[in-house]
Amino acid sequence: MNNILSYCLGNPYLLTAMLIVGLVLLVKGADWLVDGASALAKRFGISDLVIGLTVVAFGTSMPEFVVNMVSVAEGSTDLAITNILGSNIINTFVILGVTALIYPITSQKRKRDFNIPLSIIAGVLVYACVSIKSPFGEEAQGITRPGGIVLLLLFCYFLYNSIRHAKDHPDEPAEIEPLKSTKPIGAGMAVALVLIGLAGLVVGGEMIVKSAVQIATNLGVSEAIIGLTVVALGTSLPELATSAMAAFKHNCDIALGNVIGSNIFNVFFVLGMSAVIRPLPAYEGITMDAWAAVVGSMLVWLFIKTNKERQIKRWGGAILLLVYAVYLTYRLLPYL
């Protein structure tokens, strides 16, 4: 197996194919895991609402989580941070930008008064961890274990608050789209889906990390750049397709809820768990990437708050895409 992997890493065409196959396994593995786990949860009498806010919500961030766990295990900490920051940046600027261009995105009160501000706080916390000087006069060296613990505690607060709000206000849309009624799945099939999904996630994550690191080496760029672009875009493609379809059906509030919810999960849960397992040192350009994530959420909040319809208009979508293009060009300029 190691000989085959080494051969693939040494061939540029097989290396690219390995990355693509890894992304497919990662995305499909997450889908199978969610389907199987949801079916098992229903058999234990857990409501669709709770399943949607836990199993399904965790499943949407599972690709980022697995890539981070493999990255941390193999010492590729730059990839672990940029996988999250890159995914959140693409979620906000690209996915919401494209969606708003297709059809204006309507916001619910809960999302604009709680979720979006919390996503801004998430970005600010990451920025603070890597840029603010400590009381001892030394600059922070990245996201430490105490920082990871803080992120996980905030994640617990978010999850508790979301479930409590959803139960108290059943007529309002949930932060994460609740589980839809599906054809019942037998217990055996559900367990099989969970096991196959986990296998797909593990194998796919391993293939992505190894191929991404090798591609960065071959191109002479940093792992951070590959994480911000190739890996982040690959893990965000399913959300982009889902949001675009929602826009064509004029159901864009789902897109906003899923994107903002995913951003919160990514920072508080995935990045927090990663930092607890292994501290994540800062890399060159991290403050700009963290700041970009903050600016994205702030722009979304500003666009929604500055019109009576509380929407991200088409012009707002165009601005988001333009800002992302400028940011990406600046980040890639040293390598062009």
> Rounded CA gap, 314 and 259, in Å?
17
* Structure-block tokens of residue 165: 């709000």
**Contact residues for 160 (Cβ-Cβ < 8 A; gap 6+):** none
Helices (H) and strands (E) in the chain, counts: 17, 4
> Rounded CA gap, 262 and 136, in Å?
35
Q: Which helix (H) or strand (E) holds 312?
A: strand 311-312
- What CATH code would you report for 2-335? 1.20.1420.30
Expressed in percent and rounded to 5, the helix, strand and coil fractions of the chain are 80, 5, 20
- What pLDDT was estimated at residue 37? 78
Global pTM reads 0.83
Domain positions in the chain: 2-335
Least confident of 81-90, 254-263, 300-309: 254-263
pLDDT in tens, 46-57: 666 566 556 666
* Residue at 130: amino acid letter: V
153 pLDDT exceeds 90?
yes
Under a CB-based contact definition with an 8 Å cutoff, are residues 84 and 266 in contact? yes
Query: What's the rounded mean pLDDT across residues 104-124?
Result: 84
- What pLDDT was estimated at residue 204? 82
pLDDT in tens, 167-194: 776 665 555 554 444 556 777 888 888 8
Under a CB-based contact definition with an 8 Å cutoff, are residues 247 and 314 in contact? no
Query: What's the rounded mean pLDDT across residues 119-127?
Result: 90
**97-106 core/surface letters (b: 16 or more CB in 10 A; e: else):** bbbbbbbbbb
Q: Among candidates 272, 162, 283, which has minimal Cα distance to 216?
A: 283
As a whole number, the mean pLDDT across the chain is 80
Under a CB-based contact definition with an 8 Å cutoff, are residues 325 and 229 in contact? no
pLDDT in tens, 299-327: 999 999 888 888 899 999 999 999 999 99
* Residue 311 CA neighbour count, 13 Å, CB half: 17
